[in-house]
Structure 1
Amino acid sequence: MLDHEKALLAELSARPREVRTRFAAACAERLLPLYESASESTDAGDPATLAAALDAVWAAAADGTPPPDLPGTIERLTALVPDAEDEDWDDDHAYLQNGAAVVVYACRVVLDGEVQDALWCARQVHEAADQAAQLLLDEDNTEGAYEAADASPVVRHALDGFDADLALAADTALSWPELARRLRAQARAGGVRLAELARGE
């Protein structure tokens, strides 16, 4: 487990279930723009289904009540996760995999509140950012490639986003409607920027 994951695991373990649900929803929101971009590039994926499921996660975060047939939703979403063994697999399909998987894990957080599922939401965001960083690095940069990727703008943006989202998700001074509005807007804006950075913009 990477150092940032260890720290995040400790933070999530110390937070109540509702905060973990909000954080998981924010992680999924941050990957949706990159998923949408990859879907457009590959003519694959199903952004509308993922967005609808994410809406349900945000709704559940309001009162802790899982939406009807959540296990069925998780099964349908799991079917959208591309297989790395597919013959048409490419870098954009990896983004589709991360984008679908993060919504699956977010739904699982709603269902069971497990810390590990919330951590895996964050891992999907980090994996997508790390892949983007590796693709943007000079092909000759093999020695110290991990350190270079970890210090890249796209990975730093992803990691900073975790801190920002977790802090806002745990804010007790805001009413839920206002917190939800701010958190989702923050995550969405961060996701748009993540997609731009992943494309080298």
Structure 2
Amino acid sequence: MKTVRSGIDDAWLLSSDTGEINPDVSKRREQLLMLLPDDSDPDWVLMSPIAQNAVASVVYALNVLGAGDQNDPVWAARQVFEAADFIIQIQAGPLQYVDETSNVPVMRIALAGIEAALAGAQVGRDMPQMRAHSEFVGAQIAALLPATVEGY
């Protein structure tokens, strides 16, 4: 069974600086969709939504590689935003909701990462640079994940 991380690593390998559509994109997208944690899964844990966001973001990005909808990059970015918001909300504790999230460190990191990815795509940054930056941002966000969440 593939892990979410190995599925994402494989997806990066499909990206191309040439702009050509890799024939394996559709197959990889289907394999990644099988990794999506399901709400009814008995192995569901509090942090499963983060894995959902990660997989969904990569699936949308793969759609871009395979002649996808022009909105796919927006949906990929939205998944990063949703993951950051989820982290903020679980850190707030049960029965709490944080309305203003733009100044919370995890959201600032996520938004800066989205902005950098979009800027990199516009100027034609090569895929190894894009991957390195995405992994850097992901590591920064992962460092802010709570080891345990009180009240849950």
Shorter-chain TM-score: which interval? 0.7 to 0.9
Give, in whole Å, the separation in 2 of the partners of 1:130 and 1:87: 24
Aligned partner of 2:108 in structure 1 is 156
**Matched ranges for 1:65-80 at <5 A:** 65-80=20-35
State the Cα deviation string for residues 68-108 of structure 1 (Å, max 9, x = none): 23222221211111112223322221111111111111111
Aligned partner of 1:125 in structure 2 is 80
Give, in whole Å, the separation in 2 of the partners of 1:182 and 1:50: 16
How big is the shift at 1:150? 3.7
Matched to 1:171, the amino acid is V
Unaligned runs of 5+ in 1: 1-43
**Matched ranges for 1:38-187 at <5 A:** 45-57=3-15, 59=16, 62-139=17-94, 141-142=96-97, 145-147=98-100, 149-171=101-123, 179-187=126-134
Give, in whole Å, the separation in 2 of the partners of 1:95 and 1:111: 25
Aligned length: 147
Matched to 1:119, the amino acid is V
Normalised TM-score (structure 2): 0.82
Give, in whole Å, the separation in 2 of the partners of 1:104 and 1:110: 10
Unaligned runs of 5+ in 2: 148-152
How big is the shift at 1:139? 4.1
The answer to whether the Cα contact below 8 Å between 1:99 and 1:124 also exists between their aligned partners in 2 is yes
Q: Which runs of 4+ in 1 moved over 6 A?
A: none
Give the percent of matched residue pairs that are identical in Structure 1 and Structure 2. 33
Of Structure 1 and Structure 2, the greater helix share is in 1
Give, in whole Å, the separation in 2 of the partners of 1:128 and 1:180: 23
- SS, match of residue 160 in structure 1: helix
Matched to 2:31, the amino acid is R
Give, in whole Å, the separation in 2 of the partners of 1:158 and 1:136: 16
Residues 45 and 182 of structure 1, relative CA distance in 2, 3 Å threshold: closer
Residues 165 and 50 of structure 1, relative CA distance in 2, 3 Å threshold: closer
Aligned partner of 1:18 in structure 2 is none
